[in-house]
Structures are given as C-alpha cells and as structure tokens.
A = this chain, B = another copy of it.
Amino acid sequence: MDKKIKKATVFFYEPVYVKGFGSVVGKKEKESWLGDWFDIAFDEDLWGEKSWEKCERKMVLKAVEVALAKAGINENETDYLIGGDLLNQIISASYSARELGIPFFGIYGACSTMAESMMLGAMLIDGGFAKNIACATSSHFATAERQFRNPLELGTPKTPTAQWTVVGAGASILSKQGEKFYPKITYATTGRVLDFGIKDANNMGAAMAPAAAETIMIHLEETGRDISYYDKVVTGDLGKLGAGILFDLLNEEGIKACDNYFDCGIEIYKENDNMNCGGSGCGCGGSVLNGYFIKNMIEGVFKRILFVATGALHSPTSTGQGESIPAIAHAVAIETE
C-alpha cells in the first residue's frame, strides 16, 4: 500500500467543541442494544409523511433541531450548515437546508459524509470563519434501496455480502465555545479516493476497507500515535466482511486493532441474524456517533475516539458501465480533556 502521499492530517489549535448532537432512527435500529442512546425513534417507515424521501428529510430536520437545542443555540446563531446524504442531488440535506435557512454547503461523501462535514466544519471554525456550525447526514433503507438497487416491491433477495441501509440521521453542532466536558475535535485526516477493483455493488465492505486501512495508517503515522491511544477506533459501516479485511490489512502493517475496534454497521444490527453483513449508510455512523459515542464521551466512559467514516463513491450508472467502486475514508479524532 502506497503511504507516500503528502501530509493529509491537520491539527486544530483552537478548540472545536462538539456542543450539540442529535440522532434519529427507525424501529429496527431502536431495537438494537444501542437503541436507548438515540434521541428520537419512530415506529413506521414513513413517520407520517407521504414518501420515504420526505420521511428522511424530517429525520435530518429533527436531528438538527435536537442538536441545536442541546447546544443551546438557534438557527440564526448557526453560521453554516454542512450536510449531505446518499440520495441523488442530496435532496435530504438540500430540502432540510431550505427549512433551516442557514447558509449551506452541500457535500457528497456517501457514507463518509458525517466525518467529511465535521472535518470541514472544524477547519472553518479553527480558521475563524464561524462560531457555530451544524453538520448533518442521513440515510433511509427504503430511499436508498430503490435508488441504488431495486424497487422494494420486487422483493429482491440480499446476497451474503450485502448490508442494510440504516434508517438514521445524525447531527453535530460544532462550536468555538464550550464547557470542558464537551468532546473536542483535535485532528482530521482527509482520505484520498482508492479503488481495489471491486465491481459488486452488494459488496461495499470490501470496496471500502482498503480506504479505511490507508486513512488509519496515515493518521497514526502523521500524529505519531499508536492505535491503542484511542479508547475506540470507530468505523462507520464496513460490516462483517469489510471489518475482517480491515483487520487483515492493518495486521499486515503490524497494527493490531482488536479490543478497541467498533464498527457501527456491525453493532447496530448485532442481535438480528437477518441483516447479512450488517448496517450501512451515512445515517449509520452519523446516528451512532451522535447517539452512543458523544453521550458516552460526555459521561466519561470514552475519552478518545477515532471516527473513521468510509464511503463508496459509485453510482448505478458507473456500475452499469462496468466501473469498479472507488472508496474514501476520512478520520476525525474526538477527545475529552
């Protein structure tokens, strides 16, 4: 693996606090062992809306509302909204931005979106351009399935390597000011796009694992940290197969990630045997980070985590044209004092 790329890690001299955090999930996700950590859960796929797409939009809005309330600020005090999702033209984020009225930067990083939004947000705050920034992302099984794969009505069986898109949204409010107990973003390592030739759109884990391995290795090398420095190294949604490949790739480089490794995609459907390789989607890492992790950091259970969100950057068109699946991974170090 080529590690000779130039410095991809930046350090934040000014504190960037995760001052607000909101998470919204669906029924299946609520039933998980992580369920109690989410702020809001709804029972049926549409949540009272007329389409799944509108439901996903509502999830983003609610996650941002909860996060803003916890941060004790309102939309007018929020300098920027940075967000994206899996849907074409990121309509969940764009239409939410319309409701919120906050100056908006739309981003697309597939399932790496939560990390991408947080690292851009942290740079804008440390750079002096903003006091408060809302970062948000979402995914919904039904909107993703019909866009990326097949209409649900077809009842297409899932292949063994497939993952299930999490019904979830997550939002963080990054802030220049905060109390000591709020987690802070300390480092951000931006990934580059890698492609290991995987062409099966039902095997995202394998496509994304090499990107995660490279970004983690670069992060450790550039920060001079050992992987054991972190209480948890948290990947977004590699799933069972992808996590295994990540372990192998890191092992080859002499990096042991075992006890402190956590994949949100594996954990969120852990008790459910029907979920193939686990969960996926921007909302998977986004909701688990802003639910389970940030809350446990504030309670002192975890002091240092490395959040590594991976994204598969293909489209149905690129797959249809025989292209392999490029992937990216961004790493954000979040720490309490």
Contacts and interface: CB of A to CB of B under 8 A. Distances in A.
Contacts of A103: 5, 8, 190-192
Nearest to A128: B127
A317 B88 contact: yes
B98 A194 contact: yes
A98 B129 contact: no
A91 B126 CA distance: 30
Interface in A285-327: 313-318, 321, 323, 326
A271 B268 CA distance: 58
Interface residues of A, number: 58
A230 interface: no
A154 to B, nearest CB: 18
A89 B108 contact: yes
Nearest to A101: B192
Contact of A106 (B5, B53, B107, B195): B107
Contact of A123 (B10, B87, B124, B195): B124
Interface string A68-103: 000000001101100010011111001101100111
Copies of this chain: 2
Interface in A1-45: 5-8, 10
A120 B129 CA distance: 10
Interface in A107-152: 107-110, 116, 120, 123-124, 126-129, 147
Given A98-B193, A98-B194, A102-B192, 4 more contacts: A101-B193, A105-B107, A105-B120, A124-B127
9 contacts: A5-B76, A7-B79, A91-B313, A98-B313, A104-B190, A106-B107, A106-B116, A120-B120, A123-B129
B116 A318 contact: no
A317 B90 CA distance: 11
A91 to B, nearest CB: 5
Contacts of A7: 79
Contacts of A98: 193-195, 313, 326
A51 interface: yes
Contacts of A53: 317-318, 321
Given A192-B101, A193-B104, A91 B314 contact: yes
B321 A89 contact: no
